[in-house]
A and B are shown apart, each in its own frame.
Chain A
């Protein structure tokens, strides 16, 4: 029954309230619809707890169109080595083939299966680092294509990529994309045979939040704004801006050089890890133990890893206690017990001395035998 029919003429204030409620309801419905359609991606947090990020189909389509038009061009076949549970694989291994209505080979599911490429086909290969080794071996088949474009994301391109580009250009061209689950694609650069550290150019809908107080040529954290930022699980909409944790040096209004990670941030087996958090945890759980966590040099198999150096000072701590304290973190590759943690004159852990303990002199290769003396003349 309407309020008018019940004899209660609504006041103008009441009408406004009803309208306001209707508007709120419409907004709620719209948000609900938006949320219902969203696509979920999981990342792991620095303490190991999974984080969920949601992207709206419009963001997915926008990213595919943007990168598709700018870097890829028309394709007939997509060969996808990136699992679609990750954004990169979903965008170019699922959404792009669907939007372009082209054939897709999900090579990530069985990377050893032979490729099938028809002569003159225009092929897009969605690459992770290991895919390049496979492409190199499959080139007799892939080389029959009319053109091959490779997109590479999320890690440094391996030497196999550069070797193949040297061999297969101009039939093969490749682009690196800098981005993350949280941000989508931020910037791109061509992947070139000679390698090197070329600059990145931002995608046109990405803008930078620059630190005006920072030195013009100094490194600063890359903070971006854009319409393709993901919505975190407990927020109603994506953040206005996102700090990537990457250190960059701006080389132009929309260009930068990547200097490195802005903190002790690692990716261990695909999980993010702040070494500072590792030390914080160890100091809290094992207050009588001196612990230092250091990143280890990169390894093709292990990816980014870290070591924990510790000195128990007779406190009864053991390796098992360290592992237990770090149970919900990605595990360290090495745990090294030392009599004392070597420190520099300023009291900081001596990184070089610590890393040197991983290769004790006894493990060093034997010296070469002396060269034969030159014949006396």
Chain B
């Protein structure tokens, strides 16, 4: 069953970032702005990040309705967004 545990989601979000950014992702503060903290996290990398999160959690992000620039700017916000999506799916 998909998890709604925020700590577990957080860890999986970091794991997704680690695939591309390695140790730098592991060392990230949860509220650090990804575009500032990760070298190479530009607009296209953000797009890839969102797509990878979709794949990891089996969700589809609403690019039009949701403020993706906000929700995917930090690990904390991403995890919160993912938990809400998973909860919505389960409802």
Please indicate the chain B residues that have their CB under 8 angstroms from the CB of A300 in the complex. Answer: 48, 51-52, 55
Which residues does chain B contribute within 8 Å of A301, judged by CB atoms? 16, 19-20, 48-49, 51-52
A233 interface contact, C-beta 8 A: no
Q: Which residues of B contact A299 (CB under 8 A)?
A: 19
Q: Is A101 an interface residue (CB 8 A)?
A: no
Interface residues of B in 45-73 (CB under 8 A from A): 46-49, 51-52, 55, 63-64, 68-69
A128's contact among B16, B44, B46, B68, by CB below 8 Å, is which? B44
Which residues of the other chain, B, contact A342 by a CB distance below 8 angstroms?
Answer: none
Closest Cβ–Cβ distance, residue A127 to chain B (whole Å): 12
- On whether A133 and B51 interact (CB within 8 A), knowing A112-B63, A302-B19, A333-B22, the answer reads yes
A358 near B: Cβ within 8 Å? no
B68: A residues at CB distance < 8 A: 112
Q: Which residues in chain B, 8-53, are within 8 Å of chain A measured between CB atoms?
A: 16, 19-20, 22, 40, 43-44, 46-49, 51-52
Q: What residues of A have a CB within 8 angstroms of the CB of B46 in the complex?
A: 111
Is B47's CB under 8 angstroms from A333's CB?
A: no
Say whether, besides A137-B63, A302-B20, A333-B22, A130 and B43 are in contact (CB < 8 Å). Answer: no
Contact between B44 and A83, CB atoms less than 8 A apart: yes
CA distance A109 to B44 in the complex (A): 8
Chain A residue nearest in CB terms to B24:
A331
Query: Does B69 lie within 8 Å of A112, measured CB to CB?
Result: yes
Contact among B47, B55, B69 with A134 in the assembled complex (CB-CB below 8 Å): B47
Q: Do B43 and A111 touch across chains, with their CB atoms under 8 A apart?
A: yes
In the assembled complex, the Cα of A114 lies from the Cα of B20 at a distance in Å of 27
Given known A-B contacts A302-B20, A333-B19, A333-B22, A108 and B69 have beta carbons under 8 A apart: no
Give the chain A neighbours of B20 by CB distance below 8 A. Answer: 269, 301-303
* Interface of chain A, main secondary structure: loop
CA distance A133 to B55 in the complex (A): 12
Residues of B within 8 Å of A305, CB to CB, are: 19
A33: Cβ under 8 A from any B Cβ: no
Q: A269: which of B40, B49, B64, B69 is its contact (CB, 8 Å)?
A: B40
Decide: A130 near B19, CB < 8 A? Known: A112-B69, A114-B64, A300-B55: no
Given known contacts A110-B43, A114-B64, A130 and B22 CB-to-CB distance under 8 angstroms? no
* Closest chain B residue to A81, Cβ basis: B44
CB closest residue in chain A, given B54: A133
Tell me how far the C-beta of B25 lies from the nearest C-beta in chain A, rounded to whole angstroms: 11
Determine the distance from Cα of A130 to Cα of B43 in the docked complex, in whole angstroms.
Answer: 11
Q: Which of A283-319 contact B (CB under 8 A)?
A: 299-303, 305
CB closest chain-B residue, reference A299: B19
| CA of A133 to CA of B19, assembled, Å | 20
Q: Is the CB of B44 within 8 A of A108?
A: yes
Whether A111 pairs with B47 at a CB distance below 8 angstroms is yes
Q: Smallest CB–CB gap between B7 and chain A, Å?
A: 20
Apart from A83-B44, A301-B48, what 14 extra A-B contacts exist at CB < 8 Å? A108-B43, A111-B43, A111-B44, A112-B63, A112-B68, A112-B69, A130-B44, A130-B47, A134-B47, A299-B19, A301-B16, A301-B19, A301-B51, A302-B19
Q: List 13 A-B contacts (CB under 8 A).
A: A81-B44, A108-B43, A108-B44, A109-B43, A110-B43, A111-B44, A112-B69, A130-B47, A133-B47, A134-B47, A137-B64, A300-B51, A302-B19
Q: Which 6 A-B pairs have the closest CB atoms?
A: A301-B52, A302-B19, A130-B47, A111-B47, A302-B20, A301-B20
Residues of B at the A interface (CB closer than 8 Å) are 16, 19-20, 22, 40, 43-44, 46-49, 51-52, 55, 63-64, 68-69
